Amino acid sequence: MILVHVDHDRGAVDAVSLQALTLARCLDSDVQAVIMGGAEFAPELGEYGASIVHVAEHPGLTDYAPQATARAIVGLINSLAPTAVLGAGTARGNEVLAHVAAMTDLPFAADCTEITLGSPVRVTRARWGGNLLEESTVITTTLFATVFAHAIPAVQSPAAGAVSAFTPELSPADLAVVIIERAGAASAGVTLAEAKVVVSGGRGMGGPESFSLLEDLAGLLGGTVGCSRVVTSAGWRPHAEQVGQTGTKIAPDLYIACGISGATQHLAGCKNSKTLIAINTDPDAPIMQIADYAIVGDVHAVLPQVIALTRAATGA
């Protein structure tokens, strides 16, 4: 049996957790889910292959509590003895499984793209934000792993989805770290992660003033502005706009990289864009090799032309 930790947040099941359920179903016919509260999600988890949905019920688990979640899962592991415990390759999924692994002193393989159970257990996992893969064997009694976000699509595979409620034993230390407050979005408008169009600038923009060009084009295309790390570390733009390994990973319909060289750490965040356009003075810049369309030129000359023609086309 494989146990899958499913995360949910204010009324919605986490999409990557469903991808973890799908991978689990490829490894074992018996897949069970564990969720903190949220019995109402059992039918949906059944659709994605969970035969039983173990629902942890505890007053301390009304909102996300990482160590308490892990403690509840460790309790279930002791009673159910699964061959593997999987979770989502997200901030929360990786955090919970790391706690589980620390509590049980077993290895934890984060961000796996492939898993083969047996002895030995084999995994392929993402390094460097997915730009490099590592093929490893894991020496363990129970495999703890998370599934790299969006590496495999969630596929329905209906099972019973029967609810089994349980009350975990939690200590005050398990509940020492909980969410005390939520701060809303600073500004309205499309967020980087959700935007269909991202117009992004790098060092080649020359300074913060030039980003008004990117704002204009993004505005005309219904998109938002992104940037490289050189730009955030110079203080030209806020970190919320940084695309890449240590910024946000996005997969918009259109990504326009202006004055960005295309370092692997930047590409880790934008290489899944459906269409990629690069504007760069250097024809040999790495971004130009992976772009669908490339213009070899100065952003200050090219962008005003593109903006003028786009504005004319929209009639704005």
Partner 1 sequence: MEILVCIKRVPLVGSTFILTDDASEIDTRRLGFTLSPHEECAVEAAVQLRDAHGGSVTLLSLGTAETEEQLREQLAIGADRAILAITDGSEPDPQATAAALLEAIRADGAQFDLVLLGSESADVAGYQTGIRLAHALGLPVVTGVKGLTVDAGVARCERAVGSEREVYSVALPAVITVKDGLNIPRYPSVPGRIKARKKEVSTHEVTLAAPRIVKGRLVVPAAAAKGTKVLDANEQGAAALVDVFREIGLLA
Ligand X SMILES: Cc1cc2nc3c(=O)[nH]c(=O)nc-3n(C[C@H](O)[C@H](O)[C@H](O)COP(=O)(O)OP(=O)(O)OC[C@H]3O[C@@H](n4cnc5c(N)ncnc54)[C@H](O)[C@@H]3O)c2cc1C
Give the footprint of ligand X on this chain (CB under 6 A). Answer: 202-204, 228-231, 242-247, 259-261, 263, 265-266, 269, 279-282, 285, 298-300
Between the alpha carbon of residue 91 and those of residues 52, 95, 217, 252, the distances in Å are: 25, 6, 32, 21
| 156 Cβ contact partners less than 8 Å away, ≥ 6 residues apart | 47, 48, 49
Q: Which of the residues 107 through 136 are near partner 1 (CB under 8 A)?
A: 107-111, 123-124, 126-136
CA distance 175 to 62: 11
Residues of span 208-237 touching partner 1 by CB under 8 A: 221-222, 229, 232-233, 235
307: left (phi over 0), alpha (psi -120 to 50) or beta: alpha
Q: Does 264 bind partner 1 (CB under 8 A)?
A: yes
DSSP SS3 for 75:
helix
Partner whose binding site includes residue 235, from ligand X, partner 1, none (CB under 5 to 8 Å by kind): partner 1
- Which helix (H) or strand (E) covers residue 307, if one does? helix 299-314
Q: Extract the tokens encoding 137.
A: 């064997």
Q: How far is the CB of 294 from ligand X (least distance, A)?
A: 11
Q: Which of residues 286-305 bind partner 1 (CB under 8 A)?
A: 286, 288-298, 301-302, 305
Written as six digits, the tokens of 186 are 């600073």
293 binds, among ligand X, partner 1, none (CB under 5 to 8 A by kind): partner 1
Nearest to ligand X of 100, 291 (CB atom): 291
CB of 269 to ligand X, least distance (A): 6
x-or-dash string of contact with partner 1, 43-72, rule CB under 8 A: ---------------------x-xx-----
The interface partner of residue 182, options being ligand X, partner 1, none and the CB cut-off 5 to 8 Å by kind, is partner 1
In three-state secondary structure terms, 174 is helix
Of 50, 61, 63, residue with least CA distance to 5:
50
* Binding segment (CB under 8 A) for partner 1, from list 15-23, 41-49, 153-161, 254-262: 254-262
Please state the closest distance from residue 225 (CB atom) to ligand X, in A.
14
Contact between 32 and 50 (Cβ < 8 Å): yes
Q: Which is nearer to ligand X, 20 or 291 (CB)?
A: 291
